[in-house]
Homo-oligomer: A and B are copies of this chain.
Amino acid sequence: MTFNLAFKALSDPNRRQIIKMLQDGDMTAGDIASRFDMTKPSISHHLNVLKQADLVQDVRKGQNIYYSLNTTVFQELIGWFYDLRGVAGESGKNSKPR
């Protein structure tokens, strides 16, 4: 995974909002679009940026494509912050994600 693409993807508030939605469960692009005041092409664009950054995965189930969070990559990002000595605090250091 590339940290460049991941952090760039996270720099947009709509994309962070999509991530927050997906923590509650997988969603189709239509599900996501219905909760945004945004056109479907815009939603598709944001989902593609998130996919290219590996933050989100898509899985076909029957006729639908569901989007889900790629928790591995989020753990790698959290790990980057924890590797900053003195930033996360000692209690954090001891529980660095495995």
CB <8 Å contact, B97 and A89: yes
Chain A interface size range: 35 or more
**Measured between C-beta atoms, what is the minimum distance from A20 to chain B in Å?**
7
Partner of A69 from the list B6, B16, B87 (CB cut-off 8 Å) is: B87
A74 touches B88 (CB 8 A): yes
Assess whether A63 is interfacial by the CB under 8 Å rule: no
Complex interface: chain B residues within 8 A of A16 (CB): 3, 80
Residue of B nearest to A74 (CB): B87
The answer to whether A77 touches B86, judged by C-beta atoms less than 8 angstroms apart, is: no
In the assembled complex, A19 has its CB within 8 A of some CB on chain B: yes
Query: Which residues of A70-98 are within 8 A (CB) of B?
Result: 71, 74-75, 77-78, 80-82, 84-89, 91-92, 94-95, 97-98
A4-B13, A11-B4 are known contacts. Are A81 and B92 too (CB-CB below 8 A)? no
